[in-house]
Chains A and B, each alone.
Chain A
Amino acid sequence: MLTLYTPGNSLLHRCPAAAKLITLCLAATLIMILTDPIVLASGILVVAVGYGMARIPGRTMWRLSRTALVIVMVVAACQAFFTSVSPAIIVGLRILFLITAANLVTLTTRTADLITVVEAAARPLTRWGVHPDRIGVTVALAIRFIPVLGEQACRVREAQAARGVKAPFTLLVPLVIRTLRLADGVGEALEVRGLGSSARAGASTTEHRSMTR
């Protein structure tokens, strides 16, 4: 879902990262309040115009909206099943808006700029023990590792297909284990790269590691 910066020189690319993020937050809040499907659909239309302005290649757009549509369809189907059709449409449109709008921001903003804004926004929280630089890195990690996790899911699926396993839920356990392993490793890497705990008392600075072994 989270995507990467696509270089460009459009108005949206040049617009300051902070402005884009604030607009995104406001629009996301608004979309959760509004319930008229026509208004919601026009919101999505506005986002689509944004994609045009930013000159995002059609291929990228299709790749992204394909994933978004799958998620929207699954959620909307559940809604329709458990409640009724009209809330399903509203929820579907909201999610579609949120995903496409968030993608538009990440597509037109360098990660480094995004992180700078996130860190600045978190700075007032410093007095309550929040580390703005860690929050910034967390955002970067999310952007960096989503494709990696996607690859892991593919690998697990391949391995299971090779052994003739078909049930989709069997994917979950190995994937969760792999993800926890990855998290262990990344935690260490952060320490090695100068972000993380200094030496704590006890035998290991990464005691949680034994969780997945």
Chain B
Amino acid sequence: MIELRDVSFEYDARPVLRQVSANLAEHRIGLVGANGSGKSTLARLCHGLLLPTAGQVLVNGHDTRRDAAAARSQVGFVFQDPDIQIIMPTVAEDLAFSLRPSGLSKQEISAQVDDWLGRYDLVSHRDHPAHLLSGGQKQLLAIAAVLITQPQIVIFDEPTTLLDLRNKHRIMAVIAALDQQVVMVSHDLDLLSEFDRILVVDAGQIIADDSPRAALDVYRRAALG
């Protein structure tokens, strides 16, 4: 559960979010809105990557400012571009990298890495350079590297925007199968219509917070005039 309490955010004194409040508890929550409306900023605030200029963000009760480590340990974050998220040169090394802080033994880490490689059909790419994977495989790797740390909440910022249709469906199936709470920024209205709750962001404010049907209606009307 993520609680936003009167959250405002400014970049260089330019307000980007204005007094946003919401309790995010549903299993599947979508964020939608025009380019530059503040969706990514909101997503980053939910993780603690950014801290609010005013107000508070609580992740399962942990304040992202005062209790940062505890808050972050509960949330995984997947960016739009997997190329920045993959840090180690090869596929298996990148998954193992996620488990470095876990204090697990080498054998345990290697066993978990193999497990996740198997789940996402990456076994044959184990020792391959990450940059030679396809776009879809890179995003799978980026997601696996987040899930391997067992976060309770996963935030996705446009995870399928750079992918072709086939890979998009693959990634969507993976996300749909997650047990975790998901907060996702997306422009895919078909996809969002399956969610439990949609927040429509417009010029730094939430102008609708409702079921997909009602919220997406507001979004369409705002976007198309």
Contacts and interface: CB of A to CB of B under 8 A. Distances in A.
A: interface residue count bin: 20 to 34
Interface stretch (B26-34, B91-99, B198-206): B91-99
A144 B88 contact: yes
B191 interface: no
A203 B50 contact: yes
Interface in A105-139: 110-112, 133, 137
Contacts of A140: 87-89, 93, 97
Contact of B89 (A143, A188, A191): A143
Given A5-B127, A112-B93, A148-B131, A199 B84 contact: no
B117 to A, nearest CB: 15
Contacts of B97: 140, 193
A144 B81 CA distance: 15
A189 interface: yes
Contacts of B84: 182, 185-186, 188-189
B185 interface: no
B96 A188 contact: no
B153 interface: no
B131 A151 contact: yes
A204 interface: yes
Contact of A194 (B50, B53, B90, B100): B100
A157 to B, nearest CB: 18
A147 interface: yes
B49 interface: yes
Nearest to B102: A194
Interface stretch (B9-17, B161-169, B170-178): B9-17
B212 interface: no
Contacts, number: 95
Contacts of B149: 194
B56 to A, nearest CB: 12
B86 interface: yes
Contact of A192 (B53, B64, B85): B85
Contacts of B79: 185, 188-189, 192
Contacts of A192: 47, 49, 76-77, 79, 85, 146
Interface in B124-155: 127, 129-131, 145-146, 149
A193 B64 CA distance: 16
Nearest to A114: B89
B87 A188 contact: no
A140 to B, nearest CB: 5
A198 interface: yes
Nearest to B66: A199
Nearest to B12: A210
Given A192-B49, A204-B51, A4 B68 contact: no
A171 B2 CA distance: 44
Interface string A1-25: 0001101000000000000000000
Contacts of B85: 189, 192-193
Interface in A174-211: 182, 185-186, 188-195, 198-199, 202-206, 210
B7 to A, nearest CB: 11
Given A199-B64, A203-B9, A147 B52 contact: no
12 contacts: A111-B88, A112-B93, A144-B87, A148-B131, A151-B131, A185-B84, A188-B49, A192-B49, A192-B146, A203-B9, A206-B49, A206-B50
Given A148-B131, A188-B79, A199-B68, 10 more contacts: A4-B90, A140-B87, A140-B89, A144-B89, A151-B131, A189-B85, A194-B72, A203-B53, A204-B11, A205-B50
8 closest Cβ pairs, A-B complex: A185-B84, A199-B68, A192-B77, A144-B89, A203-B53, A189-B85, A143-B89, A198-B68
Interface of B: 9-12, 47-53, 64-66, 68-69, 72, 76-77, 79, 81, 83-90, 93, 96-98, 100-101, 127, 129-131, 145-146, 149
